[in-house]
Amino acid sequence: MVTGILKRGEYFDSVSLMLIAKKISELDIVLDSAAVMGTPENKSMLQTSGLLTDELQNAGDMDLMIAYKCSSQNESDLITQKINEFLKKSGDTAKSSGSLNPSSIESALKILPDANLAMISVAGKYAGDEAMKALQNGLNVMLFSDNVSIEKEIELKNFAMEKGLFVMGPDCGTAIINGVPLAFANVVNRGNIGIVAASGTGLQEVSCLISNSGCGISQAIGTGGRDVKKEVGGIMFLEGIKALAEDKNTEVILLVSKPPADEVIIKIIELVNKIEKPVVGVFLNASIALLKQSKINVAKTLEEGSMLAVALSRGENIETVYNDLESQFSKLQTRAEKESAKLNKTQKYLRALFSGGTFCDETQMFFQNMSEEVFSNTPVGKVKKLKDVWKSEKHTIIDLGDDEFTIGKPHPMIDYSTRNKRILAEADDPETAVILLDIVLGYGSNMDPLAEVIPVIKEVKKMTSQQQTYIPIVCSVTGTEKDPQNRTTVAAALAAEGVLVMESNAAASKLAKFLIEKKR
């Protein structure tokens, strides 16, 4: 007897189809068989072979036909069952995963009952509710997701404060807890400096600079940028300071933020004034008037902040920091002089292309008082807004991590393509005097940044040498030797291509600025 099996609209790649056909033909009770798609031509072939059953008559082009001949109904049932098994198996191979992950925080807690932190990176719309569940279950929260409403943020943080828990974020990209770098973070030394930061890149920069100078980090708490705004009132920033004040492994506290709201600054000062441990603060572009009356050691740049923290942690006089900065100043001046001599008349402007948002702010701070106009897509201070973010004007300082550049794309710390194109465009502009870049290493960032950036640098060199010009490329590399990408390797490779590699974004910005000033 002949049996036909029709599988409508089911697709099997031909490898598994042939495998099935082979398995069918190997069953010794099968006298004849075929497994082919239901094209009219294949049907006529089955007809010729005496295998076309009524059911298969109805097969369409995209249906799978399996026909076989055997001697009894019992055998036929058995074969059909086997075939269904084969088909099922071939469909399953991709899906069968060993164990099942839990679907909720509650079930995850059954597997890891003493978990103490939830990292949440689901869509912002839902992230708030998940964070609340985590808090209700006694977990600290690192909320990587953005687009969480400010009302939700306040609700979460108030609830967490009552329970004595942290809510890092929303939009918190980085933290280092108990020596473990989380999300976008670097592998740094452990030590006695504790950090509270409302700025992701800022936290990465200071923690790396501290680690690279031989000191280390006890804890680094991210709060998300909105925490220090008036509405949230610095709830977690203040909680973070308190926690570090009580932490026995923390001897120096370093605070990093874009300018907090005045109300928040006042609260910070009040709190810090009660703390015994030395406190350093980097509040980029903040008016220093308020801070002057506090016991906070105020630093203007991330670099200065980390140097102050290092000096304090070593029990050194902070005057040494200012001496070091002084000598760095003159070294950079000399270097700038040498470089600017290579520029020609038309080359006048800075083109800074950042993947780290805080760097964009920091560099604007250096350049905002230039005599020529300064533009940015995310202007601060006296800097003006770019008309067209895709086109540079005069001095231009760009944050490529801002929304307009990242729609449908990964963050520029991962995907260098947008910036690479922009670098070439700037190199093609006769007015470009210096290109300023950042490269941020660590977990979460691109694992092979050299493969992304070196070809572009070579291309720039080729372009400029054809035009017999020279454009210096200044670049800071944020990272440590222990990062998976290894800062030393990256810096050396860049230097080998003629890039002026700087320890910090502050130093890189200063060099770029001096270079342009010398030119005049």
Partner 1 sequence: MNKLFESELKVINIGLKSFKETLDEQKVQSVQVDWKPPLISDSSLFDVIRNNSDKIETANNEAVKRILNSKPFLIGMGKAIDVIPGMKKNLLLHAGPPIAWDKMCGPMKGAVIGALIYEGFAKTYEEAEKVASSGKIEFSPCHEHATVGPMAGIVSPSMPVFILENEEFGNKAFCTMNEGLGKVLRYGAYDESVIERLRWMENVLYPSLKKAIDKIGKIDLKNIIAQALHMGDEVHNRNRAATSLLYRTLAPEIVNQNEKENAISVLNFINSNDHFFLNLSMGVSKVSLDAARNIENSSIVVVMARNGTEFGIQLSGTGDKWFTGVSPIPEALYFTGYTKDDANPDIGDSSITETNGLGGFAIAASPAIVQFVGGSTNDAVNYTLKMYEITEAENNIYKIPYLNFRGTPTGIDVIKVIEKNILPFIDTGVAHKNAGIGQIGAGVLEAPVDPFKKAFIGFTNQLKNS
Partner 2 sequence: MIKLLSFGDHLEKGIYNVHSRFDKVINFYSGNAFVFIVNNSIGGGSFNIVVDDVDFSELQELIIAEDHFLLNGAKVFFETSKKYDSQIEIINFNEKRFLQNLDHFETALIENSSTKSLTFLLDESRKKNFKFSYEIEFVRRFDSAIECFTSSNYLEGVKLIKGIGFGLTPSGDDFIAGFLIALNVIQKLEKVDYSNLIAHIYEAAKGKNAFTNAFLLAAKNGSLFDKFKNLIHSILYSGQNEILENTRTLLSFGETSGADQGVGFLFGIKRNFNDGNRNFEKGRIF
Give residues in contact with partner 2 (CB under 8 A). 11-15, 17-19, 21, 25, 32-37, 39-42, 45-46, 48-51, 60-62, 67, 94, 407-410, 414-415
User: Residue-wise over 179-211: b if at least 16 C-beta within 10 A, else e?
Assistant: eebbbbbbbbbebbbbbbbbbbbbbbbbbbbbb
Between 46 and 135, CB nearer to partner 2: 46
Strand-strand pairing, 2-7 and 64-69 = antiparallel
Least distance from partner 2 to the Cβ atom of residue 508, Å: 28
Quick one: which H or E segment has residue 44?
helix 40-48
Interface with partner 1 includes 246 (CB under 8 A)?
A: yes
Interface with partner 1 includes 120 (CB under 8 A)?
A: yes
Q: Edge-to-edge, what's the strand order for the sheet holding 432-440?
A: 384-385, 374-376, 395-399, 349-354, 432-440, 473-478, 500-502
Residue 9, phi-psi category: left (phi > 0), alpha (psi -120 to 50), beta (remainder) = left
Between 45 and 275, CB nearer to partner 2: 45
Least distance from partner 1 to the Cβ atom of residue 90, Å: 12
Select from 92-100, 200-208, 320-328, 475-483 the region that touches partner 1 (CB under 8 A).
92-100
Between 436 and 441, CB nearer to partner 1: 441
Which partner, partner 1, partner 2, none, binds residue 121 by CB below 5 to 8 Å per kind? partner 1
Which partner, partner 2, partner 1, none, binds residue 15 by CB below 5 to 8 Å per kind? partner 2
**C-alpha to C-alpha distance for 437 and 505, rounded to whole angstroms:** 9
Select from 173-181, 341-349, 369-377, 384-392 the region that touches partner 1 (CB under 8 A).
173-181
**C-alpha to C-alpha distance for 486 and 459, rounded to whole angstroms:** 24
Sign, CA torsion 391/171/264/210: negative
Between the CA of residue 20 and those of 78, 82, 99, 177, what are the distances in Å? 15, 10, 28, 53
Between the CA of residue 367 and those of 127, 132, 333, 372, 374, what are the distances in Å? 38, 42, 16, 10, 7
Which partner, partner 2, partner 1, none, binds residue 409 by CB below 5 to 8 Å per kind? partner 2
CB 442 within 8 A of CB 473: no
Strand-strand pairing, 117-120 and 140-143 = parallel
Interface with partner 1 includes 103 (CB under 8 A)?
A: yes
Select from 21-29, 244-252, 298-306, 495-503 the region that touches partner 1 (CB under 8 A).
244-252
Window 414-443: contact mask with partner 1 (x via CB under 8 A): -----------------------------x
Classify residue 344 by its DSSP letter.
-
Between 48 and 99, CB nearer to partner 2: 48
Between 31 and 341, CB nearer to partner 2: 31
**C-alpha to C-alpha distance for 220 and 19, rounded to whole angstroms:** 56
**C-alpha to C-alpha distance for 376 and 391, rounded to whole angstroms:** 10
125-154 residues near partner 1, rule: CB under 8 A: 125-127, 129-130, 132, 134, 139-140, 144-145
Instruction: Compute the chain's Rg from CA coordinates.
Output: 31
Between 40 and 430, CB nearer to partner 2: 40
Which partner, partner 2, partner 1, none, binds residue 407 by CB below 5 to 8 Å per kind? partner 2
Interface with partner 1 includes 109 (CB under 8 A)?
A: yes
Which partner, partner 2, partner 1, none, binds residue 448 by CB below 5 to 8 Å per kind? none
**C-alpha to C-alpha distance for 73 and 82, rounded to whole angstroms:** 14
Classify residue 63 by its DSSP letter.
S
Which partner, partner 2, partner 1, none, binds residue 34 by CB below 5 to 8 Å per kind? partner 2
> In 3-state terms, what secondary structure has residue 321?
helix
For partner 1, the binding residues (CB under 8 A) are 3, 5-6, 8, 55, 76-77, 80, 84-85, 88-89, 92, 96, 98, 100-105, 107-109, 111-112, 114-123, 125-127, 129-130, 132, 134, 139-140, 144-145, 164-166, 177-178, 180-183, 218-219, 242-243, 246-247, 249, 443-444
